[in-house]
Structure 1
Amino acid sequence: MEKDLASLSRFAFLIVAVLNAVLNLLGYQTIPEQFVNDVVAILSGVYFIWAGWKNNYISEKGLRQKEVLKQHKLD
């Protein structure tokens, strides 16, 4: 069975986030709030740039896909 690195990393972040939330509920400050805000801002920016790149016809592959759509009158 092949391991999916993206799925494993998302699951690991989920475990850390849940653990952090539970410890915060119990009154323990585990991860500073400013650090969490900074990480969320950086990851959001990276994700938005990646999504913009993947969902537009910018790369060579995207331009070829757009040509195929035009040929079949699907654009």
Structure 2
Amino acid sequence: MKESHSIQRATQAPIQGSCPKAEPSTGIAGLLEVAQEIAAERLAVLDKMRSALERGAETEALSFARQLCGLGEEHHGARVN
């Protein structure tokens, strides 16, 4: 959920030339900030998945893997042909 909020915030940054006070780097800085937030969140999930695997909690690790791939729990057991 936070990813989409962060992306939305970055895409709402002023476009260069659309506002007389807008700085050219404002949009790029916002995009980089969002990318760093997303990377940090994904790293946290990856750490949780690694920890679950080390504990032998395969179901929990699989849940984290689904989260990293963008699949929700509703895809549990779904097959792709």
Structure 1 or 2: more helix by fraction: 1
Measured against the shorter chain, the TM-score band is 0.3 to 0.5
Larger radius of gyration: 1
TM-score between both structures, scaled by the size of structure 2: 0.36
Higher relative CO (Cα under 8 Å, sequence separation at least 6) belongs to 2
TM-score between both structures, scaled by the size of structure 1: 0.38
